[in-house]
Amino acid sequence: MRIASWEFNPSLWPTLAVLLVLPLFLSLGFWQLDRAEQKRTLHHEFEERQGASVISLNKENTLRNDFAELHWQKVSIEGTFSREINILLDNQVVRGVAGYFVYTPFKLKEWDTQVLVNRGWVPAGDSRDKPPDIEVDKDVLQIIGSVKSPPKTGILLAENIVERLGKGIVRVQKLELAGIEKLLKLELLPYIIRMNPESPSGFVRQWVVPGSGEEKHLGYAFQWFAMATAIFVIYLILNIKRAK
């Protein structure tokens, strides 16, 4: 192909390589843009729900089982923590230190209903065979938290084994509400409560804001588009020559 005094004469294999790689890099770039948009939407939903009035689950009985209505909603619950069991979710790292998230069943006052509460993070300590020091307040408490789905963290290579570390303390690799209900022999609400930092009877609570990390995906998208552009420009430079 000749344009004015320039001639474009690409060879077969470089052309096939560019036709294969270029759409791949572009699709990866658009995928990262889509991930950024998802994070933006999630963050907007979180901010909107957190800014709404606090809902008391002790009073709003009609909403308690409707997770879609409550997701990331700030709620208050009044009742007592179970003194019989604490569930440790393994492999949780805070500031480079390995530890656990502590989940404790919470019985709502005046209701025969319990919900699993994430009370925060505790370090694992020097020995994995020794349980961390976990105190449970026996008084009636009112705590504030956010409604969320059970965490998706954890990789199961086999059956989710429940390890007993001491009296009333078990360790799991993945939190599955169905398995927890079977272990506790009781029915839980179909979501968990993540305690706010100011609520009593908790541990380290440096929660990650949902939807954070949009900038990371935008950066990845820029890299993929930049690589696609660079490959295309190099392809043109190597195959365009001044006509004789």
Q: What is the pLDDT of residue 128?
A: 84
Sorting pLDDT into bands at 50, 70 and 90, what band is 1?
low
Q: Reading across the β-sheet that carries 6-8, which strands appear in turn?
A: 2-3, 6-8, 240-242
Residue-level pLDDT at 171: 92
pLDDT digits (tens, 9 = 90+) for 80-93: 998 888 999 999 99
Q: How confident is the model at residue 183 (pLDDT cuts 50, 70, 90)?
A: confident
The residue that leads in pLDDT, 23 or 152, is: 23
Confidence grade of residue 158 (pLDDT, cut at 50, 70, 90)? low
CA distance 205 to 73: 17
Whole-model pTM: value is 0.78
Q: Kindly report the number of other CB atoms within 10 A of residue 183's CB atom.
A: 14
Q: Cβ(29)–Cβ(228) under 8 Å?
A: yes
Q: Please, which pLDDT band fits residue 118 given cuts at 50, 70 and 90? A: very high
- Residue 179 confidence (pLDDT): 84
pLDDT in tens, 208-239: 887 777 889 999 999 999 999 999 998 888 87
Are 77 and 145 spatial neighbours (Cβ–Cβ below 8 Å)?
yes
> In this predicted structure, what is the pLDDT of residue 244?
63
Average pLDDT over residues 130-146: 89
Are 98 and 91 spatial neighbours (Cβ–Cβ below 8 Å)?
yes
User: Span 20-33, mean pLDDT?
Assistant: 94
Find out whether 243 and 7 touch, Cβ atoms under 8 Å. Answer: yes
